[in-house]
Amino acid sequence: MELIRKEIQKYQKASARIPASTTNLGPGFDVLGLALQLYSKVTLEVTETDTQVVVSGVDADKIPSTPEHVAFQAVELVYDRSGTKRPKGFKLQIENGIPAIRGLGGSGTAILGGLLTANVLCSTPFSDVELLNFATELEGHPDNVAASLYGGIVVSAQENAQVHTVRLECPPVLSVVLAIPDFPLSTEQARSVLPASVGFADAIYNTSRSTLLIASIATGQFEMLRVAMKDRLHQPYRASLIPGFDDVAKAATSAGALSVALSGAGPTVAAYCLEHTEQVAEQMQSAFRKHQIASDIKILKPDIDGASLHVENL
């Protein structure tokens, strides 16, 4: 993507639009991410007054509007690492379009927004790869931020604090139906139920499925997703935190979904479909309702472009 590296110019205002992401895709725990056509926008502007953080949009009341916001931490990181002199203040605006704490990469989009916009205002000292490493440092894992940065499906791995990625195109025939329950689930809580170690057989099971999943998508053999998205490493443990998960998954596949997985750490449930998306959405929502849980439904296509930037020289 290499955003705005052709010409070094001092900008005073920059905006980034960053797509949501769904990660793990079943067996690809902390490895696979898919960008979705659901977006947040982050705008950073140099000011002559004290720093101001303004949050609007979806779940704005659940997101801190202070310099402790993770997006502003990302801004500070870029200025610190680049050695750029800070202005007197900033105005950081976050127009949030992604449900918070629902397993859709909202914190990752905020981090990327802060990094990308600050990088422009600092005259672009860092490459996209370096920004991805910074984002992973702040986020703790690369799967969400890699997908949101590059778009499509991204396979990521860390080696000696460096993130290595391969991006795959995600054909537009695939749709993702999200059932977003009306309760949050933090990544910390979702990780707390995972075992410290897993059996060798389970490790092989997930390795084979995640490899099959990548090959299935790369070759367009989507019927393989029925087998390829099965998991033994995290979903069996996290299901207990999401009332009705098994029933929602069964309802989705019965209505025509190829496969179902938790979106990230949850609680959002993602169904992968070639057709029958409306029926799948209706049945997933109904299944949650039977467990006295309200849910919001979104039918989305993959985002293939990743993050984008707009700059202004005031």
Are β-strands 295-300 and 175-181 bridged in parallel, bridged antiparallel, or unpaired? antiparallel
Give 130-148 pLDDT, tens digit per residue: 999 999 999 999 999 999 9
Query: What's the mean pLDDT in 23-28?
Result: 97
The Cα–Cα gap between 144 and 107 comes to 9
This prediction has a pTM of: 0.93
pLDDT of residue 255: 98
- Nearest of 273, 210, 284, 288 to residue 25 by alpha carbon: 210
Of 36-45, 88-97, 180-189, the one with minimum mean pLDDT is 180-189
Mean pLDDT of the chain: 94
Q: Which domains does the chain have, with CATH numbers?
A: 13-169+305-312 (3.30.230.10), 175-300 (3.30.70.890)
Torsion on CA atoms 176, 211, 308, 98, rounded to nearest 10 = 40
pLDDT of residue 4: 46
pLDDT-above-70 percentage for the chain? 96
Give 89-130 pLDDT, tens digit per residue: 999 999 999 999 999 999 999 999 999 999 999 999 999 999
The Cα–Cα gap between 262 and 279 comes to 19
Residue 37 has pLDDT above 70, yes or no: yes
**DSSP H/E element including 310:** strand 308-312
Sheet holding 295-300, edge to edge: 259-262, 269-273, 175-181, 295-300
- Letter for the amino acid at 227? V
